[in-house]
C-alpha cells in the first residue's frame, strides 16, 4: 500500500514547480487579505523554495503524515506561515478550503505554525531562532537512529540577529549534521528596513563558513539552482549545508517587492485584485 502511494507522487518538473509556486503566491495574498493580517512579504519570497521542497525534494507522504524516516521541514521564520500552509494544503495534507481561515478564531491555521493543530507541521515556531535549534534536535535524533530522514530548516535574514541562531550553527557543525540543510531566505529586508541598516548581518556566507558549514549561494527564485543546491547538500558529508538563497521580498507582486512595509500588512480589496492579476490571474 505504502509503496504504491509513494510511486503515485511524481516529483514536479521545473515547469510544474513554477505553476505550483504561482498558485501558492496567490494563496498567500488571498489568505492574508482574508484574515486582514499576516506576513505576505517574507511568504512570497520563500514560495519557490517551499515549492521545491514540498513538490520535489522531500521524502514525505500526506497520506501517512507521521511516516517513519520521513524528511522534516521546520519554518524557523514562523511568521511566513502562509507559504507553509499553502504548500501543505496543495501537497494534500488538508483541504485548500481551510486556507482562508488563517488567523481566525477556532482555525487550526494559527498566525504562527502550531504542530499540534496543523497536519504536516513538524515544529511549532514563531519566536525567531527557535526553529533552528529544534531542527538540530531532529537531525541529531536521525543520526542516533541511523535514519535516512533529512531535516530542512528555513531561516530569515533578520532572524540572524538572534544569538540562538549562532548557538545552533555552532552545534550543527560540532555534531557534523550533514543530514541538516538550512536555507536562508536572503531578501535583505526586516521589519524596520534593510538588514544592513538595522543590524548588519553580512557577510553571511563567510560567517557560516567560519562556523564550519558548507555554503551554497543561489538565486532563490531559480528552480534549476534551487534543485541543484539541494542535491549538492545531500551529497555533502560530514558538515551541515546552508543554501543562501538571494530572494526578493514580496516577489511577484509589484507594489510589495522590495518593500519592508509589506513585511506584515494585509492588502486591501483593490490591492488584492491587482496582486492576483500580476500573479497570473485568478478564477
Partner 1 sequence: MSKMIATREAYGKALVKYGKENENIVVLDADLSKSTKTAEFSTTFPERFFNMGIAEQNMLGTAAGLATSGKIPVASSFAMFAAGRAFEIVRNSICYPKLNVKICATHAGLTVGEDGASHQSIEDLAIMRSIPNLTVINPADAVSADKLLGEMISTYGPMYARFGRAAVPVIYSEDQKFEIGKSITVKEGEDITIIATGIMVNEALEAAKELEKIGLSIRVIDMHTIKPIDEEAIVKAAIETKLIVTAEEHSIIGGLGSAVAEVTAKEAPTFIQMIGVNDTFGESGKPNELLEKYGLTSENIYNTIMDSIEFDDEIEDEENGCGCSGEHSHDGGCGNGGGCGCK
- Rule CB under 8 A: which residues touch partner 1? 72, 74, 114-116, 122-127, 129-130, 132-142, 144-145, 163-164, 167-168, 170-171, 174-175
Query: How many residues would you count in the chain?
Result: 283
**Positive or negative CA dihedral for 274, 156, 32, 60?**
positive
Grid coordinates given for 152: 530542512
Q: How far is the CB of 174 from partner 1 (least distance, A)?
A: 8
Q: Of the two residues 28 and 165, which places its CB atom closer to partner 1 in the complex?
A: 165
The closest alpha carbon to 27, from 101, 83, 92, 104, belongs to 83
**Using CA atoms, how far apart are residues 199 and 218, in angstroms rounded to an integer?**
23
**Using CA atoms, how far apart are residues 152 and 117, in angstroms rounded to an integer?**
20
**Positive or negative CA dihedral for 11, 15, 20, 25?**
positive
Residue labelled with grid coordinates 536521525:
142
Give per-residue burial for 40-59: e unless 16+ CB within 10 Å, then b.
bbbbbbbbbbbbbbbbbbbe
Q: Of the two residues 51 and 133, which places its CB atom closer to partner 1 in the complex?
A: 133
The closest alpha carbon to 78, from 24, 22, 129, 21, belongs to 129
**Using CA atoms, how far apart are residues 118 and 107, in angstroms rounded to an integer?**
9
Residue labelled with grid coordinates 549538492:
232
Q: How far is the CB of 29 from partner 1 (least distance, A)?
A: 28
Q: How far is the CB of 194 from partner 1 (least distance, A)?
A: 27
Q: Of the two residues 125 and 241, which places its CB atom closer to partner 1 in the complex?
A: 125
Q: Of the two residues 168 and 253, which places its CB atom closer to partner 1 in the complex?
A: 168
Q: How far is the CB of 124 from partner 1 (least distance, A)?
A: 4
Q: Of the two residues 19 and 115, which places its CB atom closer to partner 1 in the complex?
A: 115
Q: How far is the CB of 162 from partner 1 (least distance, A)?
A: 9
**Using CA atoms, how far apart are residues 111 and 103, in angstroms rounded to an integer?**
5
Q: Of the two residues 62 and 137, which places its CB atom closer to partner 1 in the complex?
A: 137
Q: Of the two residues 64 and 127, which places its CB atom closer to partner 1 in the complex?
A: 127
Q: How far is the CB of 167 from partner 1 (least distance, A)?
A: 4
Q: Of the two residues 89 and 136, which places its CB atom closer to partner 1 in the complex?
A: 136
Q: How far is the CB of 131 from partner 1 (least distance, A)?
A: 8
Other CB atoms within a 10 A radius of the CB of residue 271 amount to 18
Q: How far is the CB of 54 from partner 1 (least distance, A)?
A: 19
Grid coordinates given for 42: 517574507
- C-beta separation of 214 from 241 below 8 A: yes
Amino acid at each position: 500500500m505504502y509503496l504504491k502511494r509513494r510511486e503515485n507522487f511524481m516529483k514536479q518538473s521545473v515547469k510544474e514547480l513554477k505553476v505550483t509556486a504561482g498558485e501558492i503566491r496567490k494563496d498567500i495574498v488571498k489568505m492574508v487579505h482574508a484574515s486582514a493580517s499576516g506576513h505576505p512579504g517574507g511568504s512570497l519570497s520563500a514560495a519557490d523554495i517551499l515549492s521545491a521542497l514540498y513538490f520535489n525534494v522531500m521524502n514525505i507522504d500526506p497520506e501517512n503524515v507521521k511516516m517513519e524516516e520521513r524528511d522534516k521541514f521546520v519554518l524557523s521564520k514562523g511568521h511566513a506561515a502562509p507559504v507553509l500552509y499553502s504548500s501543505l494544503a496543495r501537497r494534500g495534507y488538508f483541504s485548500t478550503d481551510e486556507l482562508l481561515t488563517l488567523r481566525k478564531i477556532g482555525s487550526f491555521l494559527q498566525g504562527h505554525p502550531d504542530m499540534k493543530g496543523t497536519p504536516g507541521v513538524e515544529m511549532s515556531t514563531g519566536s525567531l531562532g527557535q526553529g533552528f535549534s529544534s531542527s538540530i534536535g531532529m537531525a541529531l535524533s536521525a543520526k542516533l537512529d541511523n535514519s535516512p530522514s533529512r531535516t530542512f530548516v528555513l531561516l530569515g535574514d533578520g532572524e540572524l540577529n538572534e544569538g540562538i541562531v549562532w548557538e545552533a550553527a555552532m552545534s550543527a557543525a560540532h555534531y557534523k549534521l550533514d543530514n541538516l540543510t538550512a536555507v536562508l531566505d536572503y531578501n535583505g529586508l526586516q521589519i524596520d528596513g534593510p538588514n544592513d541598516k538595522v543590524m548588519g548581518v553580512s557577510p553571511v556566507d563567510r560567517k557560516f563558513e567560519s562556523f564550519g558549514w558548507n555554503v551554497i549561494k543561489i538565486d532563490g527564485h531559480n528552480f534549476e539552482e534551487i534543485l541543484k543546491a539541494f542535491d549538492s547538500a545531500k551529497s555533502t558529508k560530514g558538515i551541515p549545508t546552508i543554501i543562501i538563497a538571494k530572494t526578493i521580498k514580496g516577489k511577484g507582486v509589484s507594489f510589495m517587492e522590495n518593500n519592508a512595509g509589506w513585511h506584515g500588512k494585509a492588502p486591501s480589496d483593490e490591492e488584492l485584485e491587482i496582486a492576483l492579476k500580476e500573479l497570473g490571474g485568478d478564477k
